[in-house]
Amino acid sequence: MTGDAPRGLWITLEGGDGSGKTTQAAALEGWLRESGREVVRTREPGGSDVGQLIRDIVLHHRGDIAPRAEALLYAADRAHHVATVVRPALARGAVVVQDRYLDSSVAYQGAGRVLDAGEVRDLSLWAADGALPDLTVLLDLDPTAARQRLDADDKPFDRLEAEKSDFHERVRSAFLGLAEAEPDRFLVLDATRPPGDLSADIRARVGDALGAAPGR
């Protein structure tokens, strides 16, 4: 993470809806806690008190939200979350395990074809004062397979889950493009593999990162 000298480790999980991020975040959290680490498990949108209010608007508002307004809402959630949750946690040496971050904005808001992906990224970086995670795990999954998983759940779809499948194809390629552009930050995993195998790969990478930095 840029901008200060944190002692903690910041891990984000990214991927399409239904790719298994939550399962992997929970497994990673459990493993880190067992090894005696302080873990802050959080998410965007909605990882702070203000963020909960914003999450309600972006995911559950009935009717359209203008694309620029939507991008600004995610960025506002991010700004408050990074300032009040992520930075303080890293400063005290915690491991932050976070469901979604700015890569989601670039992939989803960029995939609407209205906004330029580079502008969305710049907006988010401004909001977060330049903060980038140490590691981003991308759980890559074909949207058709993801849809089958979501259909098997009883939960109703939120606004973005209900988008058409070509939208989700664009989201997937955007994530893969981001990972290709920053190979050091990203760990890309095939989300059709067994969850236990995926957890093991994530643990190996996180273990390396924790071992590489003295004091972590």
Site for ligand TYD in 175-204 (CB under 6 A): none
| Sequence-separated (6 or more) residues with CB below 8 Å from residue 87 | 4, 6, 131
Q: Cβ 45 to ligand TYD, closest distance in Å?
A: 5
Which is nearest to 201 in space by CA: 8, 40, 20, 33?
20
Strand 135-140 to strand 9-15: parallel, antiparallel, or no bridges (unpaired)?
Answer: parallel
Using CB under 6 A as the binding rule, whether residue 97 contacts ligand TYD is answered as no
Among 104, 172, 174, 206, binds ligand TYD (CB under 6 A): 104
Q: Cβ 209 to ligand TYD, closest distance in Å?
A: 22
Q: Which amino acid is at 97?
A: V
Which is nearest to 170 in space by CA: 2, 1, 16?
16
Among 160, 174, 178, 187, binds ligand TYD (CB under 6 A): 160
Which is nearest to 176 in space by CA: 130, 94, 117, 120?
117
**Residue with smaller CB distance to ligand TYD, 160 or 202:** 160
Number of residues that bind ligand TYD (CB under 6 A): 15
Q: Which helix (H) or strand (E) holds 99?
A: strand 95-99
Query: Could you give the 3-state DSSP secondary structure of residue 191?
Result: coil
Q: Cβ 171 to ligand TYD, closest distance in Å?
A: 8
Using CB under 6 A as the binding rule, whether residue 24 contacts ligand TYD is answered as no
Give me 72's structure tokens. 């600004």
Stretch that binds ligand TYD, among 87-95, 100-108, 130-138, 179-187 (CB under 6 A): 100-108
Query: Where along the sequence are the contacts to ligand TYD (CB under 6 A)?
Result: 17, 21-22, 44-45, 59, 74, 99-100, 104-105, 108-109, 160-161
